[in-house]
Amino acid sequence: MSNLYSLTQEAKELYKQLTDVDDETGELLNPDIFDLIVKNNAEIEAKADGYAAIKKMLDGEISLLDTEIKRLQAIKAQRVNSKDRLMKSLQDAMVVLQRAEIVSPLNKFKICKNGGKAKLTIDDGVEIPQEYMKIIYEADTEKIRNDLEQGIEIIGCKIEERGTHLRIS
């Protein structure tokens, strides 16, 4: 059996041959063309069935991978939490002991201030003065879509054609 590309090229050639007729008699130059087209179509259908089987197999593998990813992410989250608890416990002990630094033969531990800007908090319910407010404009895509559908032209905007996809049922 040929590959799908070859079968598709063969089908194109066969359909072209449907228009090849004898100028004198008006008969097809290749009288077996219809049988060849039926055979080609059957091969394409068999190839499509093979593709569907492979797709189902890949869907199963994808599902297994999703499950494994979730399992590994849960393990990672546990490890991150364990590490964070260890670091917090050590920092809490150093604070209780009023030690900003511990030096051991293998490591050096030091409580340091975080870098960057200090955290800003705004209390709930507080009215912020207008001078500290900013307005953010964003496109109203639903209004633009509705206007375009009504035939109103908007510079720089257009509704594009929907794409296509293959469904196997």
State residue 115's pLDDT score: 85
* CB contact set of 33 (below 8 Å; sequence gap of 6+): 14, 17, 18
State residue 1's pLDDT score: 61
Number of Cβ within 10 Å of residue 7's Cβ equals 19
State residue 14's pLDDT score: 86
Query: Which tens digit of pLDDT belongs to each residue from 26-73?
Result: 777 777 888 888 999 999 999 999 999 999 999 999 999 999 999 999
Residue 25 has pLDDT above 80, yes or no: no
Kindly write down the DSSP assignment for every residue of 50-78, as one continuous string.
HHHHHHHHHHHHHHHHHHHHHHHHHHHHH
Q: Which DSSP state fits 110?
A: E
Token pair of 79, please? 């490890």
Query: Which tens digit of pLDDT belongs to each residue from 93-132?
Result: 999 999 999 999 999 999 998 888 888 999 998 999 999 9
